[in-house]
Structures are given as structure tokens and as C-alpha cells.
Amino acid sequence: MRVVLGVAGGIAAYKACSLLRLLAEAGHDVTVVPTASALRFVGAPTWAALSGKPVSTDVWSDVQDVPHVRLGQEADLVVVAPATADLLARAATGQADDLLTNVLLTARCPVVMAPAMHTEMWDHPATQANVATLSERGVHVVPPAVGRLTGKDTGPGRLPEPEELYAVCERELARSARTSPTAAAPATPVENPAPLADANPGDAALSPSTGPLGDLAGRRVVVSAGGTREPLDPVRFLGNRSSGKQGHALAAAAAGRGAEVTLVTSAPADLPGIDVVAVETALQLREAVHAAAATADVVVMAAAVADFRPASYAATKIKKTHVDGADGSIDESAPVITLVRNPDILAELVQRRGEADSPVIVGFAAETGDAHGTVLEHGRAKLERKGCDVLVVNEVGVDRTFGADDNTVTILRRGSDETVEVGPVSKAAVSAAVWDVVAGLL
């Protein structure tokens, strides 16, 4: 498909090189249209070499081909990454003072914009008004990620990772291919062709799109993350391999979409703008989640909660050998650890919800598949058993998912046979897909 990659003048322009690579490697015909100031960050030779096409910023090159009209008219997708405050302002007011703004005025295909700037510029009412105008006109604005900015400061304003933007581009291309009878087939299969092909257009909750900017504004969200640690003695615990990365990505994505987020986590987290509650054991996690869930609109149980904990805790270190009984003999036998069941927090949340203001409850299912069923079959059974609204199923194993930056999941919704398959993509992109589904249920 024909993609125009617009690049505005921000330091995140370097990330657009990776996005260009991903689009080109997928077989798309990509033309890069930088602004003049973008070329101060990444030069024209880089864009030309990576795209295999000449690069210009103004409307005065190759005038015989009328590029200022042709590029926009012929594009299947225009994606602007990064979109600076200046570019957003020029696009919102319909200016046509360089090639990129001309392309934006002539394009009739889906347009994706990924703003990136300092938090103060992003928060400014002028920028927010421009973004609202563009969103109303149908531009798909990908909210900036929360995190470290150019200087020492942190906050919303980071350009999302190229893999996440690439996933959004593929979804938009697949969507426009379905609605436009003349559009060519994608150059390579998109990441999740099955659910798109099967999706019922009326079923917004399962439509795998990234929600509009700020679609979680005013919502209270609780996310649990990480693997719990069940102590045996002062130096030992029973734990699991969960890194907490997916839960943290979900929390950051929700904050980026405007939600007020409480993250209950056993993994270290420094996420600006998010209320982080550090816990260790399943019982601590349970208490913190229930306290925060009382006023929440959404609870996401991404934590890997231990199903069992040691029945007793030894206040002093369990020694390899110990003196046994009155005769002073040495006992060298291995200790037997008795386990007791931990409460199922997800099941408790489902039981506790009232009729009226029930939060949307999202569970995760880590499955391996076995002689009794596939990963998906186990996931469907778990969704029924747990009674949550959404279940995110992922296949796990020693070399899969745990600690990785990418994830592949299937999102199931109670009462629907539809599935949303996502990945392999970054955990940020998985988060975007989960929030799309949840936002449709709110």
C-alpha cells in the first residue's frame, strides 16, 4: 500500500526511521515527507536511503509531477510521527505552507498523527484544542506515551514506540482496505487479519482500533502487575517469572488516554502521574486492589498472583540441618513445606460487584496448552469460570512472554464469540488493544 510518512521537527524524528523500516519491510511503498525543521534532526540522505525515494520538504521540487496534490490523493495512509505542536497547529488551521501540510489537505485516506513534545506544550489549551479539532475531523491521534522526555523531565509527551505506531498503521490500512473496494491488498498479511476480517462492524467493543485521544478521561482505573512473592523465611520466598512489564505498560497507556490510574505492583515502578502502590504478597495485593477497586471504573488483574502460599512463616532462617529432640541428634532431612490456598482476587472482584456501578473487570490468563485443550480453549473455559468481562489470554513458557518486551495475546469478551488477536507486538501495543476493547464497554 502507499504510505506517506510525515515527519515534523522534533527530536523523536529519529524514531520515525524505525517506523519507516517497519513499514518498508512489510512491503509498503513509503514516501517520506519531512518538514524543513525535521531535517535538522535527521537529514534527507537518511530518509532517501531508507525509503529508496527522493525527499523534499517544499512544493517547488519536481513541479511537473504536481507532488503537492498527487502524494495526498494517491496515499492509502498518511502517518505523521512525530507531530509537533507547530505541525498540529498548522494542520488544524488548514495551512498549506510546505509539502507535508499540502499532503494533509489533499489526502482522503486515513490519517494518523502521533504527537510528541514537552508536557507543557502538550497540556497547553491551544494544543489540546488543535488535537480536538483534528480528532473531530477524523484524524486518528495516537496519544503520547508517558515517560522520560528530552531533558531530565518526565511526563506525557513521548512518541510511542515505532512498533506501536506500526501496529496502528497496519490496523488503519486494513480498515481502509475493507471499506474501500479499490484499495489493493496489503503487501504482507497484517498482524491480526482474522479478527478484522471476521469483525462485526457494529461490535465496537471488539473492534481492534486504538481509541480516540483522552477516551479514558475522567475514568478511574486500577491495574495490578507483577508476580507475588510468598515468604518462607526472612531470606526465601515462593515466586514466579512475571516481570510486571505488561501491567506497567497497561497503566502507562491508560494514563496516556486520560485515566486516573492506581498501579498495584510487586515490581519496581517509577511511572510519573500514576499512583503506585508497592506490594509483595498475594494478601497485600488483595487488600490494595480491593481498596482501590471500590471507586474504580475498570480493574485489570494483570498480576501473576500466587495460587498458594506457605502455611507458616519461619521468623528465623530455615537451616540446612537442625538439632532434633531431647537426645541432641542432628536432623538432616529436607523440610516439608505445607501450602495453603490464596484467595482468588479476580473471583472476589466479580462476586463483589454491584448491579449499578460495576467496574469493568479484566483478567489475564497465562496458559501453556496441554492434553486437555489448546491455549484458547483453556482461555474460554477460564473466562466462563472467572466471570470477568474481558480476558486477555497469552501463551507462556520459560522462553515466552516473561520479561520480554513483546507479547502475543488473544482478547476474549464475555458473551461474545469474537476474538481480537494481537501481536507479536510491543507490550505497549498490546495495552492499546486492551484499552480499545475496554473503552468500548464503558
Catalytic residues: 240
Q: How far is the CB of 33 from ligand CTP (least distance, A)?
A: 44
Contact range with ligand CTP by CB under 6 A, out of 94-102, 197-205, 230-238, 343-351: 343-351
- Closest to 251 measured CA to CA, from 279, 280, 273, 282: 273
Give SS3 for 381: helix
Contact range with ligand CTP by CB under 6 A, out of 22-30, 119-127, 152-160, 298-306: 298-306
Q: Toward ligand CTP, which CB reaches closer, 115 or 363?
A: 363
Contact range with ligand CTP by CB under 6 A, out of 58-66, 98-106, 171-179, 340-348: 340-348
φ, ψ dihedrals at 333, nearest 5°: -70, 150
Distance between CA atoms of 365 and 256, rounded to whole angstroms? 25
Site for ligand CTP in 352-381 (CB under 6 A): 363-366
Give SS3 for 70: helix
Q: What secondary structure letter does DSSP report for 441?
A: H
Number of Cβ within 10 Å of residue 385's Cβ equals: 12
Residues in the chain: 442
**Sign of the Cα pseudo-torsion (419, 424, 427, 432, in order):** negative
Distance between CA atoms of 180 and 187, rounded to whole angstroms? 16
Does 296 participate in binding ligand CTP (rule CB under 6 A)? no
Instruction: Label residue 315 exposed, middle or buried (CB < 10 Å: 0-12, 13-18, 19+).
Output: exposed
Q: How far is the CB of 387 from ligand CTP (least distance, A)?
A: 11
Q: How far is the CB of 250 from ligand CTP (least distance, A)?
A: 12
Q: How far is the CB of 135 from ligand CTP (least distance, A)?
A: 32
Does 346 participate in binding ligand CTP (rule CB under 6 A)? yes
Using the structure block, give the residue that is written with the C-alpha cell 498480576.
303
Does 288 participate in binding ligand CTP (rule CB under 6 A)? no
Q: Toward ligand CTP, which CB reaches closer, 271 or 365?
A: 365
Q: Toward ligand CTP, which CB reaches closer, 293 or 345?
A: 345
Q: Toward ligand CTP, which CB reaches closer, 24 or 347?
A: 347
User: HSE (CB half, 13 Å, CA atoms) of 204?
Assistant: 7
- Closest to 51 measured CA to CA, from 13, 24, 70: 24
- Closest to 360 measured CA to CA, from 291, 249, 435: 435
Q: Toward ligand CTP, which CB reaches closer, 197 or 340?
A: 340
Site for ligand CTP in 58-117 (CB under 6 A): none
Q: Toward ligand CTP, which CB reaches closer, 1 or 222?
A: 222
Distance between CA atoms of 296 and 334, rounded to whole angstroms? 46
Contact range with ligand CTP by CB under 6 A, out of 57-65, 127-135, 170-178, 338-346: 338-346
Choose, by CB under 6 A, the member of 342, 407, 426, 431 that binds ligand CTP: 342
Residues binding ligand CTP (CB under 6 A): 282, 301, 303, 305, 307, 342, 344-346, 363-366
